[in-house]
Amino acid sequence: MIVVWILLGLILLAMTVAVVETRILRVTRYSALELAPGLAASQNGMTRIVVVSDLHCTGFGRGNRRLIDMIAKEKPDLLIVAGDVINSRPCDIKYSKEFFDGLKASGIETCYVFGNHEQKLSLIGEEEFNAYVNEMSSHVRIVNNDTFIFGGITIKGLLIPLRMYRDRLSNIETYFDATELVGRFEDDGNYHILIAHDPTFASMYRDIGADLIIGGHLHGGIIRLPFIGGLISPRHRLFPRRTKGLFDEGKGKLLVTGGVGWHALPFRFLNDPEICVLEIPQKKSLASDEPE
Ligand SMILES: [Fe+2]
């Protein structure tokens, strides 16, 4: 009998920890050596980028002050918001507006690529979706299937077709051409970043030629198990691959953030909400190109 009580106690403790964990915020740091191992230490300095993904209307303090202050404290040159700020309901536009207004007030330059939840708004109604885009685009750089140059970094944002989030068991490669949507990186000597909300299809982005692909969407696997990793995807698939961390992907790297929020399942376990801080060389400078 005592074993049953101990087990029940442990389950209760784990559930409490899992709920409490959704309120924690951590910083995960990635150095230039990790992100650009083939490049010499930059002689032109570093660009500091913060990545935030999958807020899903989660609030960290009033107006998300705790999250915004944490981002501001890192003094980023650029904030990348990698999708799913909202939960695809028109009423959530207010939440998103508060968050982005707070970033603007803190002087944080921000770019934003939509995830599946932003795109779902377009299914609810054109008016709501257009209102959302107009609201955000007044002070946030939206890079859906677009490219911009920031210092010595070329950044592309890929808007993954919404059907890809549903037809996950289909032969997706036959009808999703990521390169056609966003184009290839030119050989401009810059560091190349591709933002794509769902990292599941990362191998399909290889032809685009990114040094670094940034994604989220998988919420770190929600429950993380030692030696195994994420247990479940937001779409309730078991043992999804590459749910959080830095991975090799072709000739480049894939960074998957566990995100900061939750939806559907209101907990996280051994999987604290995170913002990622990246140090990126401002210009490519191959060691072999340096004078002897
Ligand atoms: Fe998502």
Which residues neighbour ligand 1 (ion) by CB within 5 Å?
Answer: 84, 115-116, 217
- Edge-to-edge strand order for the sheet containing 191-196? 146-150, 153-158, 191-196, 212-215, 252-256, 245-249
State yes or no: pLDDT of 58 exceeds 80.
yes
pLDDT on residue 125: 84
| The predicted structure's pLDDT at residue 36 | 85
pLDDT band of 188, cuts 50, 70, 90:
confident
* Helix residue spans in the chain (DSSP H): 2-21, 32-35, 65-73, 93-105, 116-124, 126-137, 178-182
Separation of CA 116 and ligand 1 centre (Å): 5
CA distance 34 to 19: 32
Q: In residues, how long is the chain?
A: 292
Cα(130) to centroid of ligand 1, in Å? Answer: 20
Phi (first) and psi of residue 249, to 5 degrees: -145, 105
pLDDT at 127: 86
State the total domains in the chain.
1
Three-state DSSP class for residue 130: helix
Q: Are 221 and 14 in contact (CB under 8 A)?
A: no
Residue 253 belongs to some domain of the structure: yes
1 within some domain = no
Identify whether 135 is part of a domain.
yes
- 9 within some domain: no
Ligand 1 center–CA 218 separation, angstroms: 7
Q: Which two tokens stand for residue 94?
A: 């207010």
Distance between CA atoms of residues 89 and 18, nearest Å: 26
At residue 138 the predicted structure's pLDDT band, cuts being 50, 70 and 90, is confident
Q: Is residue 18 part of a domain?
A: no
Q: Phi and psi (nearest 5°) for 212? A: -145, 125
Distance between Cα 42 and ligand 1 center (Å): 34
Cα–ligand 1 centroid distance for 56 (angstroms): 9
The answer to whether position 46 is within a domain reads: yes
| CATH classification at residue 161 | 3.60.21.10
- For the stretch 88-136, pLDDT in tens is 888 788 889 899 999 999 999 999 999 999 999 888 888 888 888 888 8
Sheet containing 26-30: order of strands: 26-30, 274-281, 46-52, 78-81, 110-112, 141-142
Q: 160 C-alpha to center of ligand 1: Å?
A: 10
Range of the domain at 142: 23-286
Quick check: is 47 in a domain? yes
Rg value, the chain, Cα: 19
Considering the domain boundaries, does residue 3 fall inside one?
Answer: no
CA 92 to chain centre: 19
